[in-house]
Chain A
Amino acid sequence: MSTQQEWNTLGQSRTRRLERASKFAEGKNVHPDHIVQLLEAVLEPGDRLCVEGNNQKQADFLARAMVQTDPQQVRDLHLVQSVLALPEHVDLIERGQVSRIDFSFAGPQAGRLARLVESNRITIGAIHTYLELFGRYFIDLTPQVALVAAQMADRQGNLYTGANTEDTPAIVEATAFKGGIVIAQVNQIVDTLPRVDIPADWVNFVVQAPTPHYVEPLFTRDPSLITETQVLTAMIAIKGLYAKYGITRLNHGIGFDTAAIELLLPTYATDLGLKGKICTHWALNPHPTLIPAIEAGFVKSVHSFGSEVGMEKYVAARPDIFFIGADGSMRSNRAFSQAAGHYACDLFIGSTLQIDLHGNSSTATKDRIAGFGGAPNMGADARGRRHASPAWIKAGQEARGDTYMPRGQKLVAQVVETFREHMEPAFVEHLDAWDLAKAAKMILPPVMIYSEDLTHIITEEGICHLLLCRSDEEREQAIRGVAGYTPVGMGRDKRAVENLRDRGIIERPEDLGIDTRQANRDLLAARSIKDLVHASGGLYDPPKKFRNW
Chain B
Amino acid sequence: MERFEITLPSLHVSALQQSALCGVVSSGNLEVMIEANSTPESCHFEVNTSADGFQDIWRAVLADFSERHKVGGLNISINDAGATPAVVSLRLTQAYEESQEGSDA
Which residues of B11-63 are within 8 A (CB) of A?
28, 51, 54, 56-57, 60-61
Q: Which of B57, B82, B87 contacts A229 (CB 8 A)?
A: B87
- State which of B2-10, B71-79, B90-98 sits at the interface with chain A: B90-98
In the assembled complex, A419 has its CB within 8 A of some CB on chain B:
yes
In the assembled complex, A228 has its CB within 8 A of some CB on chain B:
yes
Q: Which of A232, A419, A516, A517 contacts B85 (CB 8 A)?
A: A419
Which residues of A479-536 are within 8 A (CB) of B?
484-485, 490, 516-517, 519
Q: Are B90 and A419 in contact (CB under 8 A)?
A: no
In the assembled complex, B105 has its CB within 8 A of some CB on chain A:
no
Choose among B51, B82, B89 the residue with the greatest number of A CB atoms under 10 Å from its CB: B89
Chain A residues lying within 8 Å of B60, measured Cβ to Cβ, are 485, 490
In the assembled complex, B86 has its CB within 8 A of some CB on chain A:
yes
A232 CA to B61 CA in the complex, in Å? Answer: 18
In the assembled complex, A423 has its CB within 8 A of some CB on chain B:
yes
Chain B residues lying within 8 Å of A386, measured Cβ to Cβ, are none
A480 CA to B86 CA in the complex, in Å? Answer: 15
> Digit string of A459-470 for contact with B (CB within 8 Å is 1, else 0)?
111000000000
A461 CA to B61 CA in the complex, in Å? Answer: 12
How would you classify the secondary structure of chain B's contact residues: helix, strand, loop or mixed? Answer: helix
Q: Are A229 and B90 in contact (CB under 8 A)?
A: yes
How would you classify the secondary structure of chain A's contact residues: helix, strand, loop or mixed? Answer: mixed
Q: Which of B61, B82, B97 contacts A517 (CB 8 A)?
A: B97
Chain B residues lying within 8 Å of A232, measured Cβ to Cβ, are 86, 90
Interface size, chain A (Cβ < 8 Å)? 20
Taking CB as reference atom, which chain A residue is nearest B85?
Answer: A485
A229 CA to B54 CA in the complex, in Å? Answer: 20
A490 CA to B54 CA in the complex, in Å? Answer: 13
A418 CA to B61 CA in the complex, in Å? Answer: 13
Q: Are B86 and A423 in contact (CB under 8 A)?
A: no
Taking CB as reference atom, which chain B residue is nearest A460?
Answer: B86
> Digit string of A416-453 for contact with B (CB within 8 Å is 1, else 0)?
01111111000000000000000000000000000000
Q: Are B93 and A417 in contact (CB under 8 A)?
A: no
Q: Are B86 and A419 in contact (CB under 8 A)?
A: yes
Taking CB as reference atom, which chain B residue is nearest A419?
Answer: B84
Chain A residues lying within 8 Å of B84, measured Cβ to Cβ, are 229, 417-420, 423
A63 CA to B67 CA in the complex, in Å? Answer: 61
Taking CB as reference atom, which chain B residue is nearest A484?
Answer: B85
Q: Are A417 and B86 in contact (CB under 8 A)?
A: yes
Taking CB as reference atom, which chain A residue is nearest B86?
Answer: A460
Chain A residues lying within 8 Å of B61, measured Cβ to Cβ, are 485
A419 CA to B28 CA in the complex, in Å? Answer: 11
Chain A residues lying within 8 Å of B87, measured Cβ to Cβ, are 227-229
Taking CB as reference atom, which chain B residue is nearest A422?
Answer: B82
A423 CA to B82 CA in the complex, in Å? Answer: 8
A81 to nearest B CB, angstroms? 37
Taking CB as reference atom, which chain B residue is nearest A229?
Answer: B86
A485 CA to B60 CA in the complex, in Å? Answer: 7
A519 CA to B94 CA in the complex, in Å? Answer: 11
Q: A485-B60, A490-B60 are in contact. Are A418 and B86 (CB under 8 A)?
A: yes
Chain B residues lying within 8 Å of A485, measured Cβ to Cβ, are 57, 60-61, 85
A422 CA to B83 CA in the complex, in Å? Answer: 8
A420 CA to B83 CA in the complex, in Å? Answer: 10
Task: List B residues at the A interface (Cβ < 8 Å).
Answer: 28, 51, 54, 56-57, 60-61, 82, 84-87, 89-90, 93-94, 97
- Starting from the known contacts A229-B87, A423-B51, A519-B90, 14 additional A-B residue pairs (CB-CB under 8 Å) come to A417-B84, A417-B86, A418-B84, A419-B84, A420-B84, A460-B86, A460-B89, A485-B61, A485-B85, A490-B56, A490-B60, A516-B90, A517-B93, A517-B94
14 pairs, A vs B, C-beta closer than 8 Å: A228-B87, A229-B84, A229-B87, A232-B90, A418-B85, A418-B86, A420-B84, A421-B28, A423-B54, A484-B85, A484-B86, A485-B57, A490-B60, A517-B94
